[in-house]
Chain A
Amino acid sequence: MHPPTPTPTTPEPGFNFAYLDEQTKRSVRRALLKAVAIPGHQIPFSSREMPMSYGWGTGGIQVTASVIGQTDTLKVIDQGADDTTNAVNIRRFFRKVCGVETTEQTEAATLIQTRHRIPETALREGQIMVYQVPMPEPLYFIEPSRTEANKMHALEEYGPMYVRLYEDVTRFGHIAIAYDYPVMVHDRYLMKPSPIPRFDNPKLHMSPALQLFGAGREKRIYALPPYTKVKSLDFEDHPFTVESWEQPCEFCGATDTYLDEVVTNDRGDRLWICSDTDYCHQRQQQQTQTPRKLD
């Protein structure tokens, strides 16, 4: 069963709605507007210290805090699940400082903050996806200097990235990037989709939802407006593919979802279940099973 959706509460006294002051939220929104206007291009913004550590999703939290309204319904997922500690904690934070309604259901949410997954349920127009981004610069492992990387973006000098992928092909026979697989946005900017598995990359393409990416520590914001062309890099003879599994989800039987491997004991026994807990529950309910949750 879904745990009962907590009803909106009164926000914590002494703090502005959504924690950040209005000036700061406005400055973040200006960066967001610019990001939407230049899809995939990283816009610097004056990231603030938040009451969580950098790396815990402060970029996403600042973006969420800047766009959330009193009537929004917020869903927070981490690794696809609503019940992981970090997701629970961020949801708890926004309930505390906004008093907004929260949900675990993708369809019921107007605003979804995510770490690492795009929900299996198709997004719709009007929804906003907020990604927590640890490392916005797709070129960082080719060119660690941000000054140089900025030049490469400006000159559209993405050859070295293709060389890197080609090296994988010559060495392993295929491109060996499992997550945070680089994409070309609107035929112009190379972009990191934040560490989603490459399984989720196709969901970025022509998504009806607005997708916002916030990197707090690196102080960058970028965006994909609805219905933006997003192409995962590949070669004609080595086309982009997504991963698949040999068995369905243990709980709901889905064969088209991203599965988590769960080690069940020290003998190495394991099972595979949907990483998207909401999707898995919905499917189990449709099959009128008692939804199962991993303890």
Chain B
Amino acid sequence: MPYVAVKGGEQAIQNAEALLKAKRRGDPAVPELSLEQIKQQMQLAVNRVMAEGSLYDPDLAALAIKQAWGDLVEAAFLLRAYRTTLPRLYYSKPLNTDRMQLQRRISAIFKDAPGGQKLGPTFDYVHRLLDFKLAAETNEFTAPTTAPVSVSESTPRVANTLAREKLIDPVGLLANTSSTHSAPTDATPAHSSDPPNGKQSYAPIPDPFDLTRQSLTTPTQRDARLQNLARADEGFLLAMAYSTQRGYGKNHPFAGEVRLGDVEVVICPEELGFEVAIADITVTEVQMVNQFKGSKTIPPQFTQGYGLTFGYNERKAMAMALVDRALQARDLNEGIDGPAQDEEFVLFHSDNVEAQGFVQHLKLPHYIDFQAELNLIRTLRREYGQAQDPSKPDAAPVDPLSADPAPEDTSVPSPTPDSQHMPQSPAEVTP
């Protein structure tokens, strides 16, 4: 046989891998990127990969980014695949984000939030003008000094201010009232029930769902949804969140509080019987305050959407909080009109590792099923040809597309009605 299209030998695969590595490295005359450089100077990429790879390890995330040519979805995939190999030793206690060492904390709902606002490092008020000075390589910038904030003090939550008047459901439990927590089918998380921390503004659920150990089934509980959203693809979440703001499932939120900082991770090994802090991790936490006009059983009050991500990941955390709130529609007896309110749609399509795999698998050979399809369509066309011209049982089938000058082609968009109703702006024709 002169040519075998899709049967690849081991040699071909090895060559592809070698080519990939050489391409990744680029011009050998250019110094190689160090993992430390990626970790230090591409922190937001590292944070995104940690969040979507659902593994807090800046070194491994930097490695994954380097290996993936900077493709962050591929890097998250590498990290997830590695994560699989790690044994599960303990479940941590719920993070106490009240005691976060704040780098940034803003609230958009009160002019002067108790505990103060802290802008921190943010692009928000930076004019996005390309800084050509950065093209040079000897940049040194000094962080401005600010008065040290006392570390031991915990910063009160803005939502608590509303909770005191019972204007908001402080624990977000409205979203979990309608049904009891389903028993895990696959594995049971190892830790025991925690008494809700009195100062916490959201109560930990005993034995929360573990997405990495249990299969997600709908209808879901909020704990499962939040886990799914925490490692969901940022772009997908952003689009979903945005759609709720543009009217597809009305969801008008206020940013109650956005905080970024370091929190302690605490475990309580059963054999020890006391708590041990094992790490400090950086997280972004968002509490959105949403309107809720009440239902038959719940008086009007604000509800909340919640977002938490590893690292500095504000856009993701905000999108997560918006989508979390949208997904509470069923529990709050709201209409489910927009894609972002449909938990099956959102949860089963939000994972980029799953999505990229299934979309890209189309590159695998499909000649067996395609052959079956090909046989079928030839049969159908033969039968169609006979129906058109019964005198010729073996007549070559008529091509319906070329025979019919006006085929019903649904792929051609009809002229948009707004071109008739909306005056065209002269700006549209300006080059």
Contacts and interface: CB of A to CB of B under 8 A. Distances in A.
Interface of A: 23-24, 26-28, 30-31, 34, 38, 42-46, 50-53, 56, 79, 85-86, 89, 93, 96, 135, 137, 140-141, 143-144, 146-147, 150-151, 153-154, 171-172, 176, 260-266, 268, 294-295
B418 A43 contact: no
17 contacts: A27-B426, A30-B427, A31-B425, A31-B427, A34-B423, A44-B425, A50-B128, A85-B125, A137-B247, A141-B247, A147-B416, A150-B421, A151-B417, A154-B421, A261-B111, A265-B114, A295-B112
A35 B245 CA distance: 25
A48 B17 CA distance: 43
B23 interface: no
A144 B426 contact: no
Contact of A153 (B114, B300, B421): B421
Interface string B406-431: 00000000001110011111111011
Given A151-B421, A154-B421, A262-B111, A28 B127 contact: no
B156 interface: yes
Given A146-B418, A172-B293, A260 B111 contact: yes
Contacts of A45: 425, 427
A143 B247 CA distance: 8
A276 to B, nearest CB: 13
Given A144-B247, A153-B421, A268-B164, A263 B112 contact: yes
A56 B127 CA distance: 11
A147 B119 contact: no
Residue from B115, B164, B248, B430 with most neighbouring chain A CB atoms (10 Å): B430
A26 B429 CA distance: 12
A46 B428 contact: yes
B129 interface: yes
Given A46-B428, A51-B127, A264 B114 contact: yes
A52 B293 contact: no
A86 B125 contact: yes
B348 interface: no
A294 B426 contact: no
Contact of B427 (A28, A93, A135, A151): A28
Contacts of A140: 246-247
A83 B107 CA distance: 16
B421 A144 contact: no
A268 B426 contact: no
Given A51-B129, A140-B246, A144-B337, 5 more contacts: A89-B127, A137-B247, A153-B421, A262-B111, A268-B165
A77 to B, nearest CB: 14
Interface residues of B, number: 40
Contact of A44 (B248, B338, B428): B428
Contacts of A89: 125, 127
A261 B110 CA distance: 7
B113 interface: yes
Closest 7 CB pairs of A and B: A144-B247, A140-B247, A27-B427, A154-B421, A51-B128, A46-B427, A30-B426
Interface string B240-275: 000001111010000000000000000000000000
B122 to A, nearest CB: 10
A45 B165 CA distance: 45
B96 interface: no
A93 to B, nearest CB: 6
Contacts of A85: 119, 124-125
B424 A44 contact: yes
B127 A52 contact: yes
Residue from B300, B423, B424 with most neighbouring chain A CB atoms (10 Å): B423
Contacts of B246: 135, 140, 144
A164 to B, nearest CB: 11
B161 interface: yes
A279 B427 CA distance: 38
Contact of B417 (A27, A143, A147): A147
B223 to A, nearest CB: 28
Contact of A262 (B112, B165, B421, B428): B112
A41 B209 CA distance: 50
Contacts of B111: 79, 260-262, 294
Contacts of A264: 112, 114
A54 B245 CA distance: 13
A182 to B, nearest CB: 14
B289 to A, nearest CB: 13
A144 B127 contact: no
B112 A294 contact: yes
B116 to A, nearest CB: 10
Nearest to A178: B291
Contacts of A171: 293
A74 B128 CA distance: 22
Interface in B277-331: 293, 300
A36 B90 CA distance: 65
Contacts of B431: 23
Contacts of A42: 422
A143 B119 CA distance: 37
Residue from B110, B129, B293 with most neighbouring chain A CB atoms (10 Å): B129
A115 to B, nearest CB: 12
A64 B275 CA distance: 58
Contacts of B421: 150-151, 153-154
B46 to A, nearest CB: 22
Nearest to B107: A263
A263 B119 contact: no
A294 B427 CA distance: 43
A81 to B, nearest CB: 8
A263 B427 contact: no
Contacts of A154: 421
Given A46-B430, A263-B161, A30 B418 contact: no
A52 B428 contact: no
Nearest to A48: B427
Contacts of B129: 51
Contact of B128 (A52, A86, A146, A151): A52
A43 B114 contact: no
B425 A263 contact: no
Contacts of B156: 266
B134 to A, nearest CB: 15
